[in-house]
Amino acid sequence: MNKTPLFKNLRFVAKELENKKISPTEITKYYLARLNELGPEYNSVITVTNERALRQAEVAEREIMSGVYRGTLHGIPFGAKDLLATDGGIPTTWGAEPFRHQTFPYNATVINKLCSSGAILVSKLAMIELAGGMGYRQPNASLTGPCKSPWDKNTWAGGSSSGSGSAVGTGLVPFAIGSETWGSILSPANNCGVSGLRPTFGRVSRYGAMALSWSLDKIGPLCLSADDCGIVLNEIAGPDPKDPSSSDKLYEYSVDSNQRKFKLAVLAGATTNIDEEVADSFKESLDTLSQFCEIEEINFPEYPYEAVTRTIMLAESGTIFEEFSSSGTAALLTAPEDKYGPYARTAVLAKDYLKALRLRDEISQKIDPIMSKYDAVCGPTKGTPASNLEDEFRGAIRGNAKDTLGALGNSVGLPAISVPNGFTKANLPTGIQFVGQVYAENSILNLANRFQQQTDWHLRHPAELLEEI
Amino acid sequence: MATGEVKGKATMKSNDHEREKEIMWDLVNLHFTNMISDDQVEKVKESIAGILTDANEIRSTTLDDSFPLLNSYQPFKGDANE
C-alpha cells in the first residue's frame, strides 16, 4: 500500500479504492491489524470479525477490479456498535455479560444496507451495557471494561456508543455506527473528538437493533467529519418494511454548493453551569460561526423536557426488559447501579407515561415552527470534557447542568450533529452540537461542514496514534 | 364525567410525596423482593424518588387544550382474513 488510509476522509479513501491505488483487501487487513493491536488497549472492541471481513474484502476487490464500483463506501471497512444483530455466528452482546454469547440468525437492516453498498464489517464495537438504559453512573459499565478516549487513556470515551467513538478517534475504523436514545452518539463524539450524527427519529431503520426505548431509539454514524457522516447516512437512511417506525421519506445527502449565510440560534443559558473551558470553546466557536451565520439567542417554551424524556425512557425500557428484570439477571451486569437499576421503574405509572407522551406531542407541534426559522439551534455538546475512568457522574451528557437540547431533541426526534470545537488545557476535546428541524439533516450537515472548513479541530489526532503499527 | 371539564389538565392533587414514595417502594419490593439486596434498598428508594420528582413535574404541567388527545391506535389495516 503506497499511502496509508489512516485518518483520511471517506471521499479520499474512496477515490484511492476506485482508482485501484489501494485494494479492499489491503485496507481491510490494515484496519484488522489496528483493531487487534489497539482495540484491547482502549477497551473499544468486542469482536473483530476477521474472517467475515476478509471474505467481504475479496468480493469487493473482485468487483472493483472488474469495473463494478458500487459507490463511495465500496471496499471501506466499518465498525458497528454491538447492539446491531449480525449473522454468521458473530456474537451480539449488547455490551452486557448476560448476553456475552448471544447470536442472531440475521443482520440488522443497517448492517445489510452498508454491506450492500460494499462496505466491510470489521468489528463489533464496545458499548455501555444495555445501551446505558439501566442507569449507569460510571465508565466501567460494560463487559469489556471502561472504554477509553483516544486523547487520554485515563479518561472515558463517553457512552453508550463508547467503542464507536473511540475506534474512529483511534483510527481503528474509518467510520462506525452507533445509536442514541439520549446522548449516546453525541457524548462519545464529544469525548473522542470525532463527528457524530443523530438522525431524525425514523430516518434509519432499527430492525435488528437492541430496543431500549421504542419511541426514542435512533441509529447514526460516528465519523471523522460531518461530510463523512452525510456520506454514511446516505447509505443507511430510508424506509424499511421490517421497521414500522421507519419513515417513508427518502433521503439524499447533498452538499451546498453556494456559500449561503446560515441562520443559527443559540439557546439562552447554553453555558450556564458548565465547565469554564467548555464554555470558552463554545464562545470561540460562535465567533467563527458569526462569519457565515446570522445568530440569534432564543428561548424554548417552558416544559419539563428532561422529566418527559426520562419518564418515556424508563417506562418503555421497563417494559422491554421486564423478563430480564424478573429473572434476576441484572445481578450479572458490571456497574453496581445497573444491578438494581431496572427495578425502580416499576414505579412509573401508566398515566404519567401517557401524559408524558401527550406532552411530547404538544412540544413537537410547538417546537417545529421555532425550528423551521433556523438551520440549527446550537449549544455545547456536553457540559464537561471527558471524565476520568474512575469518576462517577450524575448524567452522562451534561454532568450537573440541564440538558434541555438533548432532552428536547431526543424526545421529539430532532436530528443533531456534534463536531469537535476545541481542546482543554489537558488536551481533551470539546464539542459543539447543531440541532435541526425534523428531517433537516442536510441543513445541520452543511452547517457543520462549513464550520469544519473554517476550523481544524477535526483534523487533529493524538500523536502516538499516527505511528503505523 | 362532567362535560367540558379538566380535559387534559394537571392532575393528582395529593401532595403527600413521602407517602407516595413508601407506596411505590412497597410495589417495587413486592415485585422484586428476592432480587433487591439489603445494600441496594436505599439506592432503589432514591431511584423511586427521582421517578416521582419527574412524575410530579409532568402532573403539574398543564396541557394545551388546543392540541388533540393522544390517540395513535389504528385498527389493523393489513390484508383481511378470508
State the pLDDT at residue B70. 64
Inside any domain, residue A240: yes
Q: Which segments of B3-78 are extended strands (E)?
A: none
User: If you measure CA to CA, which chain B residue comes closest to A353?
Assistant: B55
The reply to whether residue A325 touches residue B54, judged by beta carbons under 8 angstroms, is no
Please, which pLDDT band fits residue B33 given cuts at 50, 70 and 90? confident
CA distance A219 to chain B (A): 23
Please, which pLDDT band fits residue B76 given cuts at 50, 70 and 90? low
Inside any domain, residue A313: no
Provide the grid cell at A378.
446550537
What Cα–Cα distance (Å) separates residue A190 from each residue in A136, A183, A304, A364, B39? Answer: 19, 10, 25, 26, 35
The reply to whether residue A359 touches residue B43, judged by beta carbons under 8 angstroms, is no
Inside any domain, residue A413: yes
Q: Any idea what the CATH number is for the domain that residue A246 is in?
A: 3.90.1300.10
The reply to whether residue B64 touches residue A362, judged by beta carbons under 8 angstroms, is yes
Please, which pLDDT band fits residue B16 given cuts at 50, 70 and 90? confident
Interval B36-65 mean pLDDT: 93
Q: Which residue has the higher pLDDT, A124 or B11?
A: A124
pLDDT in tens, chain A (469 residues): 657 899 999 999 999 999 999 999 999 999 999 999 999 999 999 999 999 999 999 999 999 999 999 999 999 999 999 999 999 999 999 999 999 999 999 999 999 999 999 999 999 999 999 999 999 999 999 999 999 999 999 999 999 999 999 999 999 999 999 999 999 999 999 999 999 999 999 999 999 999 999 999 999 999 999 999 999 999 999 999 999 999 999 999 999 887 899 999 999 999 999 999 999 999 999 999 999 999 999 999 999 999 999 999 999 999 999 999 999 999 999 999 999 999 999 999 999 999 999 999 999 999 999 999 999 999 999 999 999 999 988 654 444 568 999 999 999 999 999 999 999 999 999 999 999 999 999 999 999 999 999 999 999 999 999 987 7
CA distance B15 to chain A (A): 16
Please, which pLDDT band fits residue B68 given cuts at 50, 70 and 90? low
pLDDT at B4 over 70: no
User: Taking CB atoms and an 8 Å cutoff, what residues of chain A touch B28?
Assistant: 343-344, 346-347
Domain containing A139: what range? 10-303+354-466
Of A304, A337, A346, the CB nearest to B27: A346
User: Taking CB atoms and an 8 Å cutoff, what residues of chain B touch A366?
Assistant: 64
State the pLDDT at residue A467. 81
Inside any domain, residue A427: yes
Is the distance from CB of A161 to CB of A173 less than 8 angstroms? no
Task: Tell me the one-letter amino acid at A399.
Answer: G
pTM of this structure: 0.95
CA distance A328 to chain B (A): 6
pLDDT at B3 over 90: no
CA dihedral A45, A51, A55, A60 (to 10 degrees): 20
Closest CA to A56 of A118, A125, A123: A118
Q: Which residue has the higher pLDDT, B67 or A25?
A: A25
Inside any domain, residue A316: no
The residue to which cell 454532568 is assigned: A399
User: If you measure CA to CA, which chain A residue comes closest to B10?
Assistant: A355
Q: What is the DSSP-derived secondary structure letter of residue A209? A: B
Q: How many domains does chain A have?
A: 1
CA distance A361 to chain B (A): 8
Of A328, A340, A365, the CB nearest to B40: A340
What value of ipTM does the predicted structure carry? 0.91
Is the distance from CB of A238 to CB of A246 less than 8 angstroms? yes
Please, which pLDDT band fits residue B77 given cuts at 50, 70 and 90? low
Inside any domain, residue A24: yes
Inside any domain, residue A3: no
Mean pLDDT over each residue of chain B, to the nearest integer: 79
The reply to whether residue A330 touches residue B55, judged by beta carbons under 8 angstroms, is no
User: Taking CB atoms and an 8 Å cutoff, what residues of chain B touch A330?
Assistant: 35
Q: Which residue has the higher pLDDT, A60 or B4?
A: A60
The reply to whether residue B51 touches residue A345, judged by beta carbons under 8 angstroms, is yes
Q: What is the DSSP-derived secondary structure letter of residue A152? A: E
Inside any domain, residue A221: yes
CA distance B7 to chain A (A): 12
State the pLDDT at residue A362. 93
The reply to whether residue B57 touches residue A304, judged by beta carbons under 8 angstroms, is yes
* Interface A-B: count of C-beta contacts within 8 A: 93
Q: The dihedral of CA A398, A402, A408, A414: what is its sign?
A: negative
Kindly report whether the peptide bond that precedes residue A327 is cis, defined as omega within 30 degrees of 0: no
Q: Which of B12, B20, B61, B65 to mutate: most A Cβ within 10 Å? A: B61
The distance in angstroms from the start CA to the end CA of chain B is 41
3-state secondary structure of A224: coil
Which uninterrupted H or E stretch holds B13? Answer: none
Question: In this structure, are strands A120-125 and A45-48 parallel, antiparallel, or unpaired?
Answer: antiparallel
Is the distance from CB of A195 to CB of A228 less than 8 angstroms? yes
Count of CB atoms within 10 A of residue B78's CB?
Answer: 5
The reply to whether residue A341 touches residue B47, judged by beta carbons under 8 angstroms, is yes
Q: Which segments of A288-440 are extended strands (E)?
A: 293-298, 376-380, 416-423, 429-435
